Structure formats: structure tokens, C-alpha cells
Amino acid sequence: MTKSELVQRLAERNPHLYMRDVEKIVDTVFEEITRALAEGNRVELRGFGAFSVKEREARTGRNPRTGDTVEVEAKRLPFFKTGKALRERLNDEE
């Protein structure tokens, strides 16, 4: 399912809403999560999961093809941990 399919499915279930509003809702949800993470915050959606940011220190890496050493800068990486309810649903509905 892509974002536009998500918008479509939600619009079908909410026929009283304009498609462009459904689109705005979906965009706002992901924009807010992105903004929160960019500000260094954690996003916790009980039952679904939690998004967080992990810091990676600068390190000396190697180009696996040539063996040359390269300096890898410090960076932040987004992480997602599946919520308990969703993790259980993934495993008991067969």
C-alpha cells in the first residue's frame, strides 16, 4: 500500500470528507512525526509503535571495494520499535 492508496482507502471509509482533506490529514500525520524527530523528540503511539532518533558517532570506515579508509561523520538515525499490540496482532491472525 502506498501513501496515495492509504488516502484512497481512508476516503472510502469517510465519505463525508473531501479527498483533499484526507490527503492533508495523512500528510500532516507524517509531517508531524518527521518534525518531532528532526527536533530530537520521540514519538510514541501506543499499540502501534514508537519512533526515536539514535546518535551515531563519527568513525573511520572503509570502502569495502577498495579498502580505502574514509571518515564517516556523526549522524542521527531514525528508529522504529513495533508496539506490543501490533506485534501480537502480526503473530496471532493467521
Partner 1 sequence: MSNQTITRADLAEAVYQEVGLSRNESADLVEAVLEEISDTLVKGENVKISSFGSFSVRQKGERIGRNPKTGVEVPITPRKVLVFRASHVLKSRINEEE
List binders of partner 1 among 37-56 (CB under 8 A). Answer: 37-49, 53
CB of 19 to partner 1, least distance (A): 12
Closest to 7 in 3D by CA, of 27, 35, 37, 31: 27
At what angle are helices 19-38 and 3-13 packed, to 10 degrees?
A: 130
CB of 51 to partner 1, least distance (A): 8
Residue count of the chain: 94
Q: Give the count of residues interacting with partner 1 (CB under 8 A).
A: 49
Q: Is 59 in the site for partner 1 (CB under 8 A)?
A: no
Residues that bind partner 1 in the complex, under the rule CB under 8 A = 1-3, 6, 9-10, 13-14, 17, 21-22, 24-26, 28-34, 36-49, 53, 75-80, 82, 86-87, 89-91, 93
